[in-house]
Amino acid sequence: MADCDADPSVMVWAKRYTHNPIQFENQLREVLPRLAYVQQIAAQYDVAGEFVLLPWVESQFQPVAARRRQPAGMWQIMPITAGAMGLRVDGHYDGRLDVPAAAHAVMKLLKQYHDQFHDWRVADYAYNAGEFSVRKLIRKHGMPGDDPVIPEWPVRKVTRAHLTKLLAIACVVREPGRFHVSLPTLPDEQQLVQVKITHSMPITRAADHAGMSVNTLKGLNAAFRSDMIDAGAASYLLLPASRAEQFRNALLVQPSMGLAAPQGHGTAAITAVSVPSKTTTPRKTHTVRRGDSLWQIARNYSVNVSELQRWNHLRGQTLKLGQVLRVSDTN
C-alpha cells in the first residue's frame, strides 16, 4: 500500500513502535516464527504483504486466550465471526488460536474483501468494522480516492487507527534503518511446520515426543484447551522444523499406545492396542457440525476439497447440519 510519508499519523505510530529499538527487535525476534508462517499463508491467497503484520496490530502475535464473548487468538476474532469463517470454537478446542487454521481463514476473508472492494485499505476497514458497515459507507460516500491514504470516511477512531497502525508497522519493516532498528532473520530450524497426527494424546506425551517443554508446545498449539491433543479437532501440530523429525520418529516407535482421553473431555477414548499401527482403521466419515465448512473439514482430514466433493457427490460447498460425509477414498 502507501509509503511511510503518505500520512503524518503513520509516522507517529511507526516512531511509537520503535521508540525503544532494542525492545522492538527482541519482540520481533520472539514472534518471527509465527510471522514467517503467516507470510507463507498470505502468499497462497495473494494478499497484500502488509496484512502479514496484522497480528502485530491486533495482539503483537500473542495467542490471546478466549474469554466469554470476547475476541481471541493473535487475530482477535470474535466468536460469532469465527463461526462464519468456519473455525470451530467449543469447550475443548478454539480454532481462533489454531495458527494454521486461523491464518487460512483470515487470508481467505481478506482476499474476499479485496475481490469485492478492490482496495486493500477498505479490506482493512471491513476486517475491523465489518463488511456491512463498509458497504453502508460506500453507498453513502462512494469509494475513497487514492489520496489521502487514510480514507476520509466517518468511521470510528479505532477503525481509522487500525489502518494507521498497520501502515506504520509495515513502514518500519520496509525502512528499518530509518528508525534505527535491525530486522532479525529466522534460521531454518526455527521455521514452523505442520506435523500430521493420527490419534489423540496427552500434551505431556506430545511434548516429550518433540523434545520440548509443555509450555512451549502449548504456546504453539494453544487451540487445545485441555491437557489433551485432540486429533478429532485438528489433525496436525505446529512445531519448529528442528523438532518435527524427532516427533515423527517418536510416533513410529510408540503408535497410539494407551492414549485414553480423560473423563468429560468429549473425545472418544483410544484403547491401548498391541497390534501394529498399520492395522488401526482410519476414520471414514465426518458428521457436519455447526460452523463446519468443506474447506475446514478437508484440512482436518488432510484431503482436498475436490476429493470431498467427488466422494460425496457435492456440486458446491453447501453443507447441512448432521450430514455424514465420506472423508476417505477407502471403503
Domain end among 123, 156, 179 = 179
Residue 254's pLDDT is: 66
Q: Are residues 37 and 147 in the same domain?
A: yes
Q: Are residues 208 and 175 in the same domain?
A: no
Instruction: With respect to residue 2, please indicate whether it lies within any of the assigned structural domains.
Output: no
Residue 18 vs residues 22, 181, 182: alpha-carbon distances, Å? 8, 7, 11
Q: What is the pLDDT of residues 153-202, one digit of tens each?
A: 999 999 999 999 999 999 999 999 999 999 999 999 999 999 999 889 99
Residue 204's pLDDT is: 93
Instruction: With respect to residue 109, please indicate whether it lies within any of the assigned structural domains.
Output: yes
Domain count, the chain: 3
Residue 139 and residue 241: Cα distance in Å, rounded?
A: 48
**Is the CB of residue 98 less than 8 Å from the CB of residue 87?**
yes
Q: Are residues 127 and 238 in the same domain?
A: no
Instruction: With respect to residue 133, please indicate whether it lies within any of the assigned structural domains.
Output: yes
In this prediction, the residues of the chain whose per-residue pLDDT falls under 50 are: 257-282, 331
Residue 331's pLDDT is: 47
Domain end among 279, 300, 315 = 279
Instruction: With respect to residue 331, please indicate whether it lies within any of the assigned structural domains.
Output: no
Q: Are residues 175 and 302 in the same domain?
A: no
Q: Are residues 296 and 261 in the same domain?
A: no
Residue 209 structural domain: 188-279
Instruction: With respect to residue 153, please indicate whether it lies within any of the assigned structural domains.
Output: yes
Residue 255's pLDDT is: 57
Q: Are residues 131 and 231 in the same domain?
A: no
Domain end among 249, 264, 279 = 279
Instruction: With respect to residue 314, please indicate whether it lies within any of the assigned structural domains.
Output: yes
Q: Are residues 125 and 271 in the same domain?
A: no
Q: Are residues 161 and 35 in the same domain?
A: yes
How many CA atoms lie less than 13 Å away from 279 in the CB half-sphere?
4
Residue 278's pLDDT is: 39
Q: Are residues 273 and 291 in the same domain?
A: no
Q: What is the dihedral of CA 256, 262, 265, 266, to 10 degrees?
A: 60
Neighbours of 65 (CB within 10 A): 12
Instruction: With respect to residue 1, please indicate whether it lies within any of the assigned structural domains.
Output: no
CATH number of the domain that residue 299 is part of: 3.10.350.10
Instruction: With respect to residue 116, please indicate whether it lies within any of the assigned structural domains.
Output: yes
Burial of 327 (0-12, 13-18, 19+ CB in 10 A): buried
Q: Is omega for the bond preceding 148 within 30 degrees of 0, making it cis?
A: yes
Residue 274's pLDDT is: 30
Q: Are residues 269 and 315 in the same domain?
A: no
pTM: 0.76
Q: What is the pLDDT of residues 54-81, one digit of tens each?
A: 999 999 998 888 777 789 999 999 988 8
Q: Are residues 160 and 16 in the same domain?
A: yes
CATH number of the domain that residue 80 is part of: 1.10.530.10
Q: Are residues 121 and 54 in the same domain?
A: yes
